[in-house]
Amino acid sequence: MDAFKTLTGTAIPFGQRNVDTDVIIPAEYLKSISRSGLGRGAFKTIRFNADGSENPEAIFNQPQYKGAPILIAGDNFGCGSSREHAAWALADLGVKAIIAPSYSDIFSGNAFKNGLLAVVLPQDAVDRLLEVATEAEITIDLENQVVTTPFQDRFSFEIDPFRKHCLMNGLDEIGITLQMGDNIAAYEATQKATKPWLSGKAGIERQG
């Protein structure tokens, strides 16, 4: 997982409220067990017309926002089902951070586990960023927990210290476990020395 410290880039001024995970990634893509390739289905019902043609009016299809690393959304983003594919699809679309007034708890957890920063800001701050995003880039400074713009806007946000540590150091659950590799190895060595039957060695020695 890539470390997240400071991100400056174009933000998609999406802003819709109560966007559920079925909108983020339709159920037809849930058969995939791969995290790559899901970006093509992200926001499919918004990006494409019923006949499969691309909707040029959709915010995600406008040239200036394609591949943008920041998504500005409305209240209760990621509600609905618990599908982790929603976080996978956003990441594959190029999104590295989301800014919204609130999120579904399950989506927020899935986003964190997949290296996506979910910033919570008040609605008035989100409204201002939606305005700025139409003409300038936005900066998210995770270390100092602040979102800034070229127009001297400065919005502080809170984040769980553990999640902040993991995101800034690029640590997913496997990475956290590997940090304790020496302790795990020492424990296993002690277990083998004091309880050899757990590894089957005692039985082998008796047979010999």
* pLDDT band at residue 201 under the 50/70/90 scheme: low
Flag whether pLDDT at 169 surpasses 70. Answer: yes
Give the integer Cα–Cα distance in Å for 31 and 187.
39
* Greater model confidence, 79 or 199: 79
* pLDDT band at residue 165 under the 50/70/90 scheme: very high
* Buried-exposed string 168-192: b where 16+ CB fall within 10 A, e elsewhere: eeebeeeeeeeeeeeeeeeeeeeee
- Tokens standing for 174? 């496997």
For residues 45-74, give the mean pLDDT.
Answer: 95
CA nearest neighbour of 66 among 148, 123, 125, 10: 10
Reported pTM: 0.84
- pLDDT for the residue numbered 194: 87
Domains of the chain: 6-171 (3.20.19.10), 174-208 (no CATH)
- pLDDT for the residue numbered 178: 59
Flag whether pLDDT at 45 surpasses 90. Answer: yes
Share of the chain above pLDDT 90, in %: 76
Residue 148: helix, strand or coil by DSSP?
A: strand
* Mean pLDDT across the chain: 90
* pLDDT band at residue 179 under the 50/70/90 scheme: low
For residues 115-136, give the mean pLDDT.
Answer: 98
Alpha-helix runs per DSSP H in 70-153: 85-93, 105-113, 123-132
